[in-house]
Amino acid sequence: MKNKEKPSTAQLLIESRAKQDTPDFRFIDSKTVPSLLVGLCSAIFARVQALEGLRDKTACPKEKAIWTEEIEKFDVAISRSLVGVQGLLKRRLETTVSPDMFVSGGLFITSLCSKFSLILDGYIKTCPDELDDPCNLLAHFAETVISLTEKLESLSETKPEALRPVARDYPYWPVLLFRHKRATNHFDLLADRLELGRECIVRSSGKANYSLKTPTTGLVWRLLNELDSVHRMIQQTPPGLTPDQFLRKHWNWFFDGEVLEHQIPLFVTSYKLRPVRQANVSAWAKTVIIPFLISKGHDLRKEPAFRSLDLGPKGRRYSALVKPITQALRSLSRRD
């Protein structure tokens, strides 16, 4: 049984950061709230201004260096203010009975969680010396995910109807795995209860034989999932607007900068196609997946899925992508 007296990784992390002159906002009263929120908003606004200055094409190198330094200072200010916001939110969620607070707080937290992969990658890159520390951020992340997975399993038992709209769209579901198999033999019952994969864009039955650990297959799945999320938004297009007009009007709000505006025609075109199936994988590979991949502007030679391919000296020999992407689509796609 876990020792309750042992401080959590989160507590250790907060204490280690506090030693770096980070203000301790764990005890917040009504007097500190306005200054906390004003400070956070001011730092974010100032950072936006600094970023605009950095993007100014007329700025000289000296000015850009100043703006870069200012951005780093504002990032520090924002991070310290976020500690206060965290303390404020945690304290209120533990005591409030307001439905609005639960919904708004939950949405705020899950919105941040959607960026956690970027946070972890940035942390690994900028703080390599901390990885050997027992209270590093990755350890805190693992501890949090374990706790959340326990909660998700409980909700899968008690509130399956609330989770089915999500479970139907995915071929997998997070559960706690143990070394002894007897502790995880309930997964089939759980999958049936949640109707796992019933409306998934790829094969999700027990007869499927692909692995998302395969680099190309995993990449194609992520691209299909991203396309599907946009297609679902297109379905919300109101009368009087075309899908293209609807996405252009709301794309900044919908995608928060994750989708480039020049990708919108591709989303609209792929939405009009028949869903990817065994019979049309070749067409999807050539007209949707490969163009979508190219539109992201990445150097495909650095993509693990394509390192063995000859993509030419500039990484633009896209014909080499057709075969592996078609094969991945074929293994993923449904027959119906």
Which pLDDT score, from 0 to 100, does residue 115 have?
Answer: 80
pLDDT tens figures, 274-293: 999 999 999 999 999 999 99
On average, the pLDDT of the chain sits at 81
pLDDT band per the 50, 70, 90 thresholds, residue 181: confident
Which pLDDT score, from 0 to 100, does residue 254 have?
Answer: 60
Instruction: Give CA separation, 260 vs 48, 68, 71, 257, in Å.
Output: 19, 24, 24, 7
* Cα torsion through 306, 309, 313, 317, rounded to 10: -90
d(CA 141, CA 146) in angstroms, rounded, equals 9
d(CA 330, CA 172) in angstroms, rounded, equals 19
